[in-house]
Amino acid sequence: MIGYAFMGAAHSQAWRNAPRFFDLPLTPVQQVICGRNPQALAAAAQKLDWRDTETDWRTAIARDDVDLVDVCTPGDTHAEIAIAALEAGKHVLCEKPLANSVAEAEQMAAAAEAARANGVLAMVGFTYRRVPAIQLARQFVDEGRLGTIRQVRAQYLQDWIADSGAPLSWRLDKTRAGSGALGDIGAHITDLIQFVTGQAITGVAGLTETFVKERPVATEFSGLAGTGGAELGPVTVDDASIWLARLTGGAIGTFEATRFAWGRKNALRFEINGSAGSIAFDLEDLNVLEYFDAGEDTRTAGYRRILVTEPEHPFISAWWPAGHGLGYEHAFTHQVVDLTTAIAAGDQPEPSFADGLAVQRVLAAVEESAQSGSNWVTVPTSGTEPA
Amino acid sequence: MIGYAFMGAAHSQAWRNAPRFFDLPLTPVQQVICGRNPQALAAAAQKLDWRDTETDWRTAIARDDVDLVDVCTPGDTHAEIAIAALEAGKHVLCEKPLANSVAEAEQMAAAAEAARANGVLAMVGFTYRRVPAIQLARQFVDEGRLGTIRQVRAQYLQDWIADSGAPLSWRLDKTRAGSGALGDIGAHITDLIQFVTGQAITGVAGLTETFVKERPVATEFSGLAGTGGAELGPVTVDDASIWLARLTGGAIGTFEATRFAWGRKNALRFEINGSAGSIAFDLEDLNVLEYFDAGEDTRTAGYRRILVTEPEHPFISAWWPAGHGLGYEHAFTHQVVDLTTAIAAGDQPEPSFADGLAVQRVLAAVEESAQSGSNWVTVPTSGTEPA
Amino acid sequence: MIGYAFMGAAHSQAWRNAPRFFDLPLTPVQQVICGRNPQALAAAAQKLDWRDTETDWRTAIARDDVDLVDVCTPGDTHAEIAIAALEAGKHVLCEKPLANSVAEAEQMAAAAEAARANGVLAMVGFTYRRVPAIQLARQFVDEGRLGTIRQVRAQYLQDWIADSGAPLSWRLDKTRAGSGALGDIGAHITDLIQFVTGQAITGVAGLTETFVKERPVATEFSGLAGTGGAELGPVTVDDASIWLARLTGGAIGTFEATRFAWGRKNALRFEINGSAGSIAFDLEDLNVLEYFDAGEDTRTAGYRRILVTEPEHPFISAWWPAGHGLGYEHAFTHQVVDLTTAIAAGDQPEPSFADGLAVQRVLAAVEESAQSGSNWVTVPTSGTEPA
Amino acid sequence: MIGYAFMGAAHSQAWRNAPRFFDLPLTPVQQVICGRNPQALAAAAQKLDWRDTETDWRTAIARDDVDLVDVCTPGDTHAEIAIAALEAGKHVLCEKPLANSVAEAEQMAAAAEAARANGVLAMVGFTYRRVPAIQLARQFVDEGRLGTIRQVRAQYLQDWIADSGAPLSWRLDKTRAGSGALGDIGAHITDLIQFVTGQAITGVAGLTETFVKERPVATEFSGLAGTGGAELGPVTVDDASIWLARLTGGAIGTFEATRFAWGRKNALRFEINGSAGSIAFDLEDLNVLEYFDAGEDTRTAGYRRILVTEPEHPFISAWWPAGHGLGYEHAFTHQVVDLTTAIAAGDQPEPSFADGLAVQRVLAAVEESAQSGSNWVTVPTSGTEPA
């Protein structure tokens, strides 16, 4: 694993726990963790339960006792590391967004395609796909419960920098993060809507805004929180991005990614309306999927609050009895389950790097639209809908 | 009152009940109701408690015993009736949308301006402004509880024609209704956001869609429901409209009006995020305003569910004890209260025809954007923000 | 109508509006309103739209132009007025609770029984039975959607005297009000549970508490709110009452009535669990009934939030389109509809005085249990379940 | 660890993960797991990550490499194992309920008291105390935010045997489980209310019911679910229990434990009303605490939905960023944190066996009341309130 911050902890937890609850075809071994600061790295290895450490990722991916490389670094390093790992014959799990630019993402998708011919597989970490309620949403679409999908509205609302005194972090620096709310959390709703509906976004009109242009330079960081000093530095990414979209199946949608919605902490919300029904989801209440069946009798119809904790629901039978909810981290465990299963079977794990590239192209189109006065921009596609 | 359908019933209820709960400076007398079908009109007069009837609106507005004309007809007739009434020296309450075109709305606003010089006053019926929770929202903005407003998201979601077998009504005919979801319910969220934030929309990128192009011609209608026959006719208005917007104060917003959101019956919802707090509202739970105060201690902060039924809340002291909620129709009663109060004082009632025109210009810009491939369109303004 | 305070206003509103929305077989005429203070009475008559006034209820009920007497006075006067009115051959609508003692209630039920033989009918005003969502709940039980009812939990939570500085009112005086939370709001949940389940409460173990023993004597009152002076007076009724119960059909239940639940304004809530499903209701969100169908597939099962505003729902077709919610007062209007319909048909309106007596017996059993150290007390019945 | 079923898995997960997120003063080693079926045991050891196995608990607790015994067996074996372990000088964590009878619980509390003198410590596993939102509730009470506590209403609603065809399990057998809903889930609400309020229950009036008297004998079991055969066996425990209570501080309460509330899966809910505010909690939405501050201005007051996921909230800083919710199992991890911290410091961990005994006495009083016709029963206390 390359990187040991927030995502490194979440991934380690998943590698450690997946075999305790699921019967995996392959048993993960947490062999080596890699970072640049030797002291912090040693502490992380101890805490996160890794056998060995490396301070140079090139050495790490070259090791014979490494079969899979888990890339948990900031987005500007994804392409170089992931491509090198694939070329070294290692399977790759790469955190989202796939890359900071479409060009890099294209190289990565090409590298993944080439590696696959050699039985080396790559997956991008759009982890929320494996929240059980979201899996159930996708099943409902597949089963035709929503009919023809007509409208989507997707929002990812946070407030962690709504305070204009919150310090600068690498996530607010365009050279490291690529973009702001758009690439960080807008990527999630883009992938999820494409995943759940099975449709690709074909065009957008977008608008981005940076409400707070300068912030204190951070002197210390832990997770998403930090402490700022007296010096100010420029915010070079978007605080919020909003866009309209059309999808391949004829649906239309509104999208919003923001870090400025006071009181919403991690509100990844979507509603999907089809000709036969509707669903609604909110990550702040992640064990629930709301569902309206338009075929019900008018007297008894209403949105159902499905508690997605039954053994019949995706991934649940491995966990606790009905009503004993899961948390944020469980989706990472499910990701390990599906990734190891795909590798053992020689199947392409999903979402693939091609799926990651598709997301990147949408985000790039939103940026292009925003920079051109919010005019409509067509999203180039490879002619294939996402899996 | 001209017209006696859904809106006619709601307005009659308001005229009849306002003096029973509020101390009005003027006592409304329900003098004459006007419609073209004499039989139906007589029944409506009896049911809705009007003293007299007229089948020609020109005669009705000319009567000496009429001081105020309440226009509850479809939008294509608003301009002619309202302007004639104002010229006849009658105060006017005109249902929304003000008109079916910007040109007509401009004429109406000009007529209202001219009439006002003679002490004749005009108001447009954006009734939802007078839902107590929405009045409270506006007060919170005025009191600075939200700080600088940064983002709005507004939706008006219904499902009354989500069934593709629902029949054609005048509301789906462009020549009568002007537009579909956009003008009918999109007008409401446009006015409300401008009212609550005190900011005007300056530009939009919009997209409209008609999902069901042909429907059975209706043979009978009652309220919003009807029965369709075998013959099909074209739907000439939008089923759903979505748009991005910028506002005068620097805020950005997403808007959506749709009649295709299965399971949402009358979900006029908005969220507003400012630098100091947030509010959220949903017309399906209309006695509630949610409020997040960013100044609260992190340990105890959370969205508050304010039940807007206290004597300290707008309009409530005239009604029932705390917790005894109001319904849809009460906002119409409050509209009568404010209108008669303004007339008695010789003040301009709000929303004025100029406010109605401002809404019309936004809707026209959304249509223009939608017709030009969703490119950005600037909204012309008179240089003044809405009251 | 005898009385013109909070309940007088609600009843007047109902008499005035029922014929405007419903086709009644009889047309109510608001002939005469009766109270002891001539000045306040005249103002009320004007405000509430009554033709004439009387300061002596005996004179009022003797008038030839009075066919029905609506008793809206405090509970200690119900028996005398209602019995006299029935004996004078007038139909009676009597506010709840029927009386302040079982003895009085028995006399009233006997008088109603006797009057009925002469075609004179009596009804007790458990108005909440006619909230559409509660009517729907009863229909669901009748249709077998809940199967055999096993458990009920019913609460009526308010907070209007949770502040220990809130002044004394007649509602806190045992000689006027009979009891406190128990008789005022406990009566409602008792009647509603018996109504919705169709089962009678057969025994109880109860406990009552007066948290604040002394309060400022009120100097002025309006609705439920008042202003207290320096003088303190004793609270002689319960602030909160809780009890366990068994029902005729084998169900068990918990009940709670309190005026001390800070933050709950009018939270009449109940949940009913049967062998085939469950329902839940909360008067603070009165247009909604929640319903769980145990027969649904586990994957898609969940509590449905039914918005009880469809034309197919009880009483709704007379009002507004779907999603345009009703308020507190509409149940009073529905009560007028059913009462006039029953009178026109010569049928016993429900709830009858016998139903009111059944409630009174339960409340008396709770008080007896509370006074005897919360031991079990059997509720005497007439051997008949409530209608 | 003795036992390896549902609770064994939850406890193992906690032992394994606690040191990965928290800095523990002692490092747990999962030394030996104990069960009677060697094959299942070996599989469990492998799955749950235990180094060694024993099929005789006496051998297990005698081992030198065991410092702490974690008792996860059915309630009828708790006393024997826990006392033996304490006498062998091993610290003990014993699952709830402490025992199946007050007599056993008294012996266990005495054994714990004796062991403590030797520095050997015992804790009972009322795990829900360590859900962050419940810890926050306790903090609010301690900080005086609720003022004097007046009322509690506590419910633990499940539906896992609401289907009368659900098979018999050891949990429905009085000789194994002691009681049904009462001891299993009623124990939780009893402990939690005593914990959060800091008050002890002094008396109860209770009522228990077994709705389904006979069920298919189970042929296979997994977690709480099983498969029944044709043979029927008697249910010897309560399906539902309800009771009224008084508390040491003058509060009154209603309690309900049921496995028959269709649609409620794990709804441990409580509301607490004090003189200065209220709180509400529901385990089905476990990252949330609702809070009403009676000191707020009436215009802005309302229940706040506090998302208990901030670094300032109990236990959260060790986990994920704000809004990234925890699940059911995390409370077990927190239990390990507090237990190891107490052991390292030589402090009594809470809840102690004395706390477990206090719960047992309440449950016994409820049973006694239920068997004596629901009359009032005083709960014997040791004269000390729970910690």
Nearest to B292 among A262, A275, A374 (CB): A262
CATH number of the domain residue B187 falls in: 3.30.360.10
Establish if B77 belongs to a structural domain: yes
Which two tokens mark B228? 């369709």
Instruction: Give yes or no: residues B168 and B269 share one domain.
Output: yes
Establish if B385 belongs to a structural domain: no
- Give the number of other Cβ atoms within 10 Å of residue A17's Cβ: 22
- Which residue in chain D has the smallest CA separation from C263? D292
Residues 116-155 of B with CB under 8 A from C: none
Instruction: Give yes or no: residues D119 and D235 share one domain.
Output: no
**pLDDT tens for each residue of A4-31:** 888 889 999 999 999 999 999 999 999 9
pLDDT at A382: 60
pLDDT at A224: 58
Q: Are C154 and C255 spatial neighbours (Cβ–Cβ below 8 Å)?
A: yes
List helix spans (H) across D22-122. Answer: 38-48, 57-62, 78-87, 102-117
Non-local (6+) Cβ contacts of B183 within 8 A are B75, B97, B100, B177, B237, B363
Task: Quote the CA–CA distance of D152 and D252 in Å, as a whole number.
Answer: 6
Q: Kindly state the percentage of chain B with pLDDT values over 70.
A: 97
Give helix D6-21 / helix D330-345 axis angle, nearest 10°.
70
Task: Quote the CA–CA distance of C146 and C273 in Å, as a whole number.
Answer: 7
Residue C384 has pLDDT above 70, yes or no: no
Residue C385 has pLDDT above 50, yes or no: no
Q: Are A259 and D317 spatial neighbours (Cβ–Cβ below 8 Å)?
A: no
Pick the range with the lowest mean pLDDT from B214-228, B285-299, D234-248: B214-228
Residue B44 has pLDDT above 60, yes or no: yes
Non-local (6+) Cβ contacts of D64 within 8 A are none
Establish if C385 belongs to a structural domain: no
Judged by CB atoms closer than 8 Å, whether chains meet at D292 and C243 is answered as: no
**pLDDT tens for each residue of C214-264:** 999 877 665 556 677 788 999 999 999 999 999 999 999 999 999 999 999
Q: Kindly state the percentage of chain C with pLDDT values over 90.
A: 89
**pLDDT tens for each residue of C192-215:** 999 999 999 999 999 999 999 999
Whether omega for the bond prior to residue D132 falls within 30 degrees of 0, making it cis, is: no
pLDDT at A125: 96
Chain D touched by C207 (CB under 8 Å): yes
The owner of tokens 């209108």 is B339
Q: Given B79, B100, B128, which residue is the final one in a domain? A: B128
Q: How far is C342 from chain A (nearest CA, A)?
A: 26
Instruction: Give yes or no: residues D95 and D214 share one domain.
Output: no
What average pLDDT does this structure show over C286-305?
98
**D75: nearest Cα among D223, D161, D159, D174:** D174
Q: Given A128, A161, A196, which residue is the final one in a domain? A: A128
Residue C297 has pLDDT above 80, yes or no: yes
User: Which H or E element spans position B125?
Assistant: strand B122-125
Chain C touched by D244 (CB under 8 Å): yes
Task: Quote the CA–CA distance of A67 and A347 in Å, as a whole number.
Answer: 16
Establish if D344 belongs to a structural domain: no
Q: Are D161 and D212 spatial neighbours (Cβ–Cβ below 8 Å)?
A: yes
Using CB atoms, list chains with 3+ pairs below 8 Å to chain D. Answer: A, B, C
Distance between alpha carbon C301 and the CA centroid of its chain, in Å? 34
What average pLDDT does this structure show over B255-280?
98
Residues 299-338 of B with CB under 8 A from D: 299-307, 310, 312-313
Residues in D closer than 8 angstroms to A320, CB to CB, are 6, 10, 223, 328-329
User: Which H or E element spans position B195?
Assistant: helix B187-197
pLDDT band for position C387 (cuts 50, 70, 90) = very low
Instruction: Give yes or no: residues B96 and B167 share one domain.
Output: no
- Picking from B300, B308, B310 by the largest number of D CB atoms within 10 A of its own CB, the best residue to mutate is B300
Using CB atoms, list chains with 3+ pairs below 8 Å to chain B. Answer: A, C, D
Task: Quote the CA–CA distance of D339 and D318 in Å, as a whole number.
Answer: 17
What does the pLDDT profile of chain D (387 residues) look like in tens digits? 998 888 889 999 999 999 999 999 999 999 999 999 999 999 999 999 999 999 999 999 999 999 999 999 988 999 999 999 999 999 999 999 999 899 999 999 999 999 999 999 999 999 999 999 999 999 999 999 999 999 999 999 999 999 999 999 888 999 888 899 999 999 999 999 999 999 999 999 999 999 999 999 877 665 556 677 788 999 999 999 999 999 999 999 999 999 999 999 999 999 999 999 999 999 999 999 999 999 999 999 999 999 999 999 999 999 999 999 999 999 999 999 999 999 999 999 999 999 999 999 999 999 999 999 999 999 997 644 444
Q: Are D188 and D281 spatial neighbours (Cβ–Cβ below 8 Å)?
A: no
Which two tokens mark B194? 């401008």
- Give the number of other Cβ atoms within 10 Å of residue B312's Cβ: 14
Which two tokens mark C259? 């005026």
Establish if D47 belongs to a structural domain: yes
**pLDDT tens for each residue of A290-332:** 999 999 999 999 999 999 999 999 999 999 999 999 999 999 9
Task: Quote the CA–CA distance of A258 and A271 in Å, as a whole number.
Answer: 17
Instruction: Give yes or no: residues C115 and C169 share one domain.
Output: no
Q: Is A128 helix (H, G, I), strand (E, B) or coil?
A: helix
Name the residue type at position A222: S
Establish if A383 belongs to a structural domain: no
Judged by CB atoms closer than 8 Å, whether chains meet at C306 and A306 is answered as: no
Secondary structure of C321-333 as H, E, C letters: CCCCCCCCCHHHH
Q: Are B76 and B178 spatial neighbours (Cβ–Cβ below 8 Å)?
A: yes
Give the number of domains in chain B. 2
- Picking from B305, B309, B313 by the largest number of D CB atoms within 10 A of its own CB, the best residue to mutate is B305
Task: Quote the CA–CA distance of A3 and B243 in Å, as a whole number.
Answer: 40
**pLDDT tens for each residue of A195-244:** 999 999 999 999 999 999 999 987 766 555 667 778 899 999 999 999 99
Task: Quote the CA–CA distance of B36 and B42 in Å, as a whole number.
Answer: 11
pLDDT at A387: 43
Instruction: Give yes or no: residues B76 and B191 share one domain.
Output: no
Judged by CB atoms closer than 8 Å, whether chains meet at C320 and B6 is answered as: yes
CATH number of the domain residue C110 falls in: 3.40.50.720
**What mean pLDDT, rounded, does chain C reach?**
94
pLDDT band for position A57 (cuts 50, 70, 90) = very high
Which two tokens mark A121? 């597989």
Instruction: Give yes or no: residues D122 and D147 share one domain.
Output: no
Q: How far is C297 from chain A (nearest CA, A)?
A: 10
Nearest to A300 among C291, C302, C303 (CB): C291
Instruction: Give yes or no: residues B114 and B142 share one domain.
Output: no
**pLDDT tens for each residue of C133-150:** 999 999 999 999 999 999
What average pLDDT does this structure show over A74-97?
95
Q: Given A128, A149, A182, which residue is the final one in a domain? A: A128
Task: Quote the CA–CA distance of A230 and A226 in Å, as a whole number.
Answer: 14
pLDDT at C382: 60
Which two tokens mark C71? 């008793």
Give the ipTM of the model, two decimals please: 0.96
pLDDT at B290: 98
**What mean pLDDT, rounded, does chain A reach?**
94
pLDDT at B36: 92
Q: Could you tell me which residues are beta bridge partners of residue B242?
A: B207, B256
* Phi/psi of residue C341, nearest 5 degrees: -65, -45
Nearest to A265 among D9, D267, D307 (CB): D307
Which two tokens mark A72? 């948990």
- Picking from A260, A374, A375, A378 by the largest number of B CB atoms within 10 A of its own CB, the best residue to mutate is A374
Residue A52 has pLDDT above 80, yes or no: yes
- Picking from D136, D139, D299 by the largest number of B CB atoms within 10 A of its own CB, the best residue to mutate is D299
Q: Are B33 and B44 spatial neighbours (Cβ–Cβ below 8 Å)?
A: yes
Query: C68 lies in which domain range?
Result: 6-125
Residue C305 has pLDDT above 90, yes or no: yes
Establish if A153 belongs to a structural domain: yes
Q: Distances in Å between the alpha carbon of B86 and those of A264, B94, D174?
A: 48, 11, 83
Task: Quote the CA–CA distance of B88 and B33 in Å, as a whole number.
Answer: 17
Establish if D338 belongs to a structural domain: no
Instruction: Give yes or no: residues B185 and B36 share one domain.
Output: no
Instruction: Give yes or no: residues B100 and B220 share one domain.
Output: no
Instruction: Give yes or no: residues C115 and C134 share one domain.
Output: no
Instruction: Give yes or no: residues B95 and B197 share one domain.
Output: no
Judged by CB atoms closer than 8 Å, whether chains meet at B244 and A244 is answered as: yes
**pLDDT tens for each residue of B102-150:** 999 999 999 999 999 999 999 999 999 999 999 999 999 999 999 999 9
**pLDDT tens for each residue of B318-356:** 999 999 999 999 999 999 999 999 999 999 999 999 999
